[in-house]
Structures are given as structure tokens and as C-alpha cells.
Amino acid sequence: MIYLPGLLVALAALWFALSGETAPMFLALGALSVLVTLWLAARLRIIDRDASPYHRLVQLALYLVWLMGQIVKANIAVIAKVLGPRHAIDPALVRLKTSAKTDLGRALFANSITLTPGTVTVDIEGDLLVVHALVREAATVHSFSPMDRHAAKAADGGHAAKAAHGGKA
């Protein structure tokens, strides 16, 4: 239940941001809805590290900044391939094993791949991802390893990423 306070604050902030109501009756109903939601989540035993990642906000924010840079670089590369010679586009599928230890880490890595222009995560099964890339030369396991390492560090913490990459995180 250590993650309960972070989830409480996040749900209350979300309710207030979406409703914008300040009348006492609406605030009471909002508080009631947040408490009922927390009670149901606790009864279902789904409040855990992945459901409440608010303790990792700094790492996730740093990852977001890094990811934005990768998206800009990928946009430039895709534009160059699309406007270049016709044979420059050579799609390929690659299977990747992620080093992320949690569902949050795997989802962050898979969604980061999909957000990056020229790549799409097609399937996820356990810690194995199938990725479609627009260019075969960019579809190597090594080309995705920095993103995997950064996503695992942001979602799982430095220890999981270090262990998965031989102590280099």
C-alpha cells in the first residue's frame, strides 16, 4: 500500500482537472468517487509499482526529454529516406528481447518504438517484441538497445537496466 498516496493525489488531481468544479457538493462527490476507486483497486489488489509509477516521475521526465530527441532524429531520417531514391525504403521485421523487468518497462519501450517514426511495435509476447522498421539497416537489435536501456532505467530503475546490460547503464 506504499503506492496508495501517489495514486490518491493523481486521481484527485485528474478529477479536479477534468471537472474544474469548486462547489462543496461537487468536491464531496469527487472525493467520494476517488475513495471508491481506491477502495475497489485495493480490493482487486491492483495497486502496485506499475499502477502507481509516481515515484519515478523524475526518471520518466528525463526519459521523455531523451525520447523527444530520438523522435526528431528519426523524423529527419525518415524524411531523407522518403524523399530519396525509391529503393531507399526497405522494410524489415526484427525480434527484440527487452531488458525491462516490469509491464510498465515493456509497455514504455514498445510505445517508444511506435512513437519513433519509421518503426512500429507489431507484437509483444512476454519480453519479446516484434518490430517493423521502414529501413532494414535500422532494424537491428543493436539499433534498439539504447532505447531499451533508457526505457528500462526510467521504468524499472537503474538496477534492472544494469543487470540486463552487464552493469552498463
**Residue 52 confidence (pLDDT):** 65
Number of domains in the chain: 2
Tell whether 93 and 138 lie within a shared domain.
Answer: yes
Both 23 and 105 in one domain: the answer is no
Residue 128: helix, strand or coil by DSSP? strand
For 58, other C-beta atoms within 10 Å of its C-beta total: 9
For residue 61, tell me if it sits in a domain.
yes
φ and ψ at residue 20, rounded to 5 degrees: 70, 10
Q: The C-alpha cell of 162 is what?
A: 544494469
How confident is the model at residue 167, as a pLDDT? 46
Query: Edge-to-edge strands of the sheet including 92-97?
Result: 92-97, 128-133, 119-125
- Tell whether 131 and 153 lie within a shared domain: yes
Task: Name the H helices within the chain.
Answer: 4-19, 24-43, 57-83, 103-115, 141-156, 158-164
The answer as to whether 75 is a domain residue is: yes
CA distance 62 to 150: 9
Q: What is residue 50's predicted lDDT score, i.e. its pLDDT?
A: 61
d(CA 57, CA 6): 11
Residue 48 lies in a domain: no
Cα torsion angle, 115, 116, 121, 122, sign: positive
Rounded to the nearest 10°, the torsion over CA 29, 34, 35, 37 is: 120
Residue 82 shares a structural domain with residue 10: no
Q: Which domain holds residue 92?
A: 56-164
Residues 101, 144 within the same domain: yes
Write down the pLDDT at residue 74.
93
- Phi-psi region at 167: left, alpha or beta (left = phi > 0; alpha = psi -120 to 50): left
pLDDT confidence of residue 159: 47
> Does 94 reside within a domain?
yes
Phi, psi (5° rounding) for residue 98?
A: -85, 150
Measure the CA–CA gap between 45 and 1, rounded to whole angstroms.
10
How far apart, in whole angstroms, are the C-alpha atoms of residue 59 and residue 120? 24
Are 68 and 147 found together in one domain? yes
Q: Are residues 81 and 34 in the same domain?
A: no
Per-residue pLDDT of the chain (169 residues; tens, 9 = 90+): 567 787 888 899 999 999 999 999 999 999 999 999 999 988 888 777 666 667 778 888 999 999 999 999 999 989 988 888 776 788 999 999 999 988 888 999 999 999 999 999 999 998 899 999 998 888 888 999 999 999 999 988 754 444 444 444 3
